[in-house]
Amino acid sequence: MLLHRHRAQHAVKGLLKRNIETCVFLKFWHTTQVTSKQVLSYVSRAARLNQFYVSEHAFESHNATFFDIKCGLTTATRAVYQPETDRWRIEGGCDDDGAALTVIVKFERNLIIVVTAF
Amino acid sequence: MNYVHTTKVGRFTVKDGGTTTRYKRSSDGSRILSPEQISSLERRAAIAVLREMELVSGTELKFARKALGLRQPELAEQLGVTVETVSRWENDSETFKRPVQLALLALLEHVEQGGSLRAPRQIRDEKDFIVRVAR
């Protein structure tokens, strides 16, 4: 009984730590300490947990479904910052059919928002 | 306020204006959709097409599968067929019968009403499709 409680507490602490790390990341990603690898890691993790939003424009103007976007984000291999638009280009991933998919995301108010996917 | 969403399902464009869900907005004022909202919109669009059309094409079948969030092996398991069969259906290499479309429609409606996809029992013939769909 004591061992189970200890394991549960450990799991909750780990989960809290990861959530806090994500929140801190989303709040302070503008600073120079954030690397492309960190951005890719957080976006991939958020995609696996369905923790991202999609702009209405992206949803209506492209043939990629939510499932495709999720596949593209979880399999992406690169994150490139675009300073002119203050967005990140998540590339190298593929959709459910295996076709290459590039996703443009932006971070706002602790949210990851998919702006477009192509 | 009801917003009209447009979803492209294969050859068809489905307009969905029947929701009063609240939407978040991004800094530029545009609406942003949560995963649940998008999934629901896609399912409803797939349901509309599968219900209205006598027989849909492979592209629409593929959209319906993705609206359920299933990969080809997972859909094959749900329907009791092989992965190759599902792939041939989606590529229009093989025609599929109406019970397949009805089974997929039933899955979509079941999930849209809050149900979950469980491991199916083995389906032996077409009648099994209809029996399982009717549950």
Among B19, B25, B38, B65, which would you mutate to test the A interface (most chain A Cβ atoms within 10 Å of its Cβ)?
Answer: B38
Q: Is B51 on the interface with A (CB under 8 A)?
A: no
Kindly tell me if the per-residue pLDDT of B26 is higher than 60: yes
Inter-chain residue contact B66 with A68, CB threshold 8 Å: yes
Q: Which of A45, A35, A22, A111 is nearest to A79 (CA)?
A: A35
Q: Does B25 touch chain A (CB under 8 A)?
A: no
Q: What ipTM does the predicted assembly reach?
A: 0.76
| Beta-strand relationship, B5-9 and B12-16 | antiparallel
Instruction: Look at residue A65 and tell me whether its pLDDT is greater than 80.
Output: yes
Average pLDDT along chain A: 80
Which residues have CB under 8 Å from A40's CB, separation 6+?
Answer: A76, A77, A78, A79, A90
Residues 6+ apart with CB under 8 A from B133: B99, B102, B103, B105, B106
Can you tell me the distance from the alpha carbon of B16 to that of A20, in angstroms, rounded to the nearest whole number? 37
Mean pLDDT of B26-54: 89
Higher pLDDT, A9 or A41: A41
- At residue B19, the 3 state secondary structure works out as coil
Report how far apart, in Å, the C-alpha atoms of B78 and of each of A15, B23, B44, B74, B107 are: 32, 33, 20, 6, 9
- B134 pLDDT band (50/70/90 cuts)? very low
pLDDT averaged over every residue in chain B: 82
Domain ranges of chain B: 38-134
Distance from CA of A60 to the nearest CA of B (A): 6
pLDDT value at residue B123: 47
* Cβ–Cβ contact B67 with A under 8 A: yes
Tell me how far apart the alpha carbons of residues B49 and B35 are, in angstroms, rounded to a whole number. Answer: 21
CB within 8 Å: A56 and B33? yes
Chain A residues touching chain B at CB-CB below 8 Å? 50-57, 59-60, 63, 65-68, 96, 106, 108, 111, 113
Class level of CATH domain B38-134: mainly alpha
**Chain B partners within 8 Å of A50 (Cβ):** 35
pLDDT tens string B82-132? 999 999 999 988 888 888 899 899 999 989 888 877 655 444 455 555 544
Amino acid at B71: R
User: Across the interface, which of A65, A106, A111 has its CB nearest the CB of B63?
Assistant: A65
The pLDDT tens digits for A26-55 are 555 554 567 888 899 999 999 999 899 998
Measured over the CA atoms of residue B37, residue B40, residue B46 and residue B52, the dihedral's sign is negative
Q: Which residue of A has its CA nearest to B5?
A: A60
Contact B96, B60 (CB under 8 A): no
pLDDT value at residue A108: 85
Q: What is the pLDDT of residue B94?
A: 86
Q: What is the CATH number of the domain that holds A94?
A: 3.30.2310
| Interatomic CA distance for residues B82 and A96, integer angstroms | 18
Find where tokens 């092989």 sit.
B82
Q: Is B28 or B106 the better-scoring residue by pLDDT?
A: B106
Residue B12 CA: distances (Å) to CA of A99, B9, B60, B122:
22, 5, 9, 33
For residue B35, which residues of chain A lie inside 8 Å, CB to CB? 50-54, 66
Q: According to the model, what pLDDT value does residue A59 have?
A: 80
The confidence band for A11, taking pLDDT boundaries of 50, 70 and 90, is low
Give the lowest-confidence range in A11-15, A75-79, B63-67, B93-97: A11-15
High-pLDDT (> 70) share of chain A, %:
70
Question: What's the domain range around A86?
Answer: 2-117
Of B33, B41, B42, the CB nearest to A53: B33
DSSP B123: P
Interatomic CA distance for residues B135 and B77, integer angstroms:
18
Cross-chain Cβ contact A56/B7 below 8 Å: no
Inter-chain CB proximity B24 and A111 less than 8 Å: yes
Query: For residue A78, what are the β-bridge partners?
Result: A91
Q: Domains in chain A: how many in total?
A: 1
Q: Are strands A78-82 and A87-94 parallel, antiparallel or unpaired?
A: antiparallel
**What is the pTM for the complete model shown?**
0.76
